[in-house]
Amino acid sequence: MPADPSPQTGPPPANCVHEVRHPLIQLHLTRLRDKTTTASRFRQSVRRLATLLAYEATQDLAVKVTSVQTPLAETAGVELTQRVGLVPILRAGLAMVDPVLDLVPEAEVWHLGLYRDEATAKPVRYYDKLPNGQPVDVAIVLDPMLATGGSVIAALTTLRDWGVKQVKVASLISSRQGVDLVAAQFPEVPIFVCQIDPELNDQKFIVPGLGDAGDRIFNTIY
């Protein structure tokens, strides 16, 4: 596992972090943050935000020209030429998979199980089913909350070791500290995020954030 995140040594490249600004994103983020939002409506908001974020993150996918027969005539179209892999970080990342699959139905889904040790705030890996060899062409790491950055860095390290040449990160909310750390350690990886919040609290939760995304998605708040 990677070492405990340390302060970055310099500013990240300006073009590697994409904070997506859109009125609909702000609308659904507001509903996501609201502590009175029910689990079912929380999942709906996650789905809508993931769809909007995926649209931004997939704009440079490679395509080739093809043709299709409409009811009236033959016309030109395109099809993807790259294998796309979705890599949700369990468990909260699962909620972002289906909306991205709706946009890229041929994508493969590879799971990484990582959780944060509440005592140390370090990521702990408990599940990894990436196959030996045959990496995808493009991998998109899905994690609703990028807090300390430790879990995302662990995922990116795993995908680099797998041999994936192009990796992206899609996160709904990140902390400034976490996104800067990931960008500093993986400057070649584009990060797409709906909102960058200013800080982490003593428990390493994003502030103002939205609480624990996994608990709110799966209704396991006690």
Q: Using N-to-C axis directions, what is the helix angle for 176-185 and 150-162, rounded to 10°?
A: 20
Dihedral sign, Cα of residue 112, residue 177, residue 212, residue 119: positive
Please give the CATH number for the structural domain made up of 17-218.
Answer: 3.40.50.2020
What is the tens place of the pLDDT at every residue in 54-106? 999 999 999 999 999 999 999 999 999 999 999 999 889 999 999 999 999 99
What does the pLDDT read at residue 12?
42
- pLDDT tens digit at each of 222 positions of the chain: 333 333 333 444 445 899 999 999 999 999 999 999 999 999 999 999 999 999 999 999 999 999 999 999 999 999 999 999 999 998 899 999 999 999 999 999 998 877 666 666 666 777 777 878 789 999 999 999 999 999 999 999 999 989 999 999 999 999 999 999 999 999 999 999 999 999 999 989 999 999 999 999 999 976
Q: For the whole model, what pTM was predicted?
A: 0.87
All structural domains of the chain with their residue ranges: 17-218
C-alpha distance from residue 195 to each of 17, 32, 78, 206 (Å): 11, 12, 32, 11
Residue 222 CA to residue 213 CA, distance in Å, equals 14
What does the pLDDT read at residue 3?
37
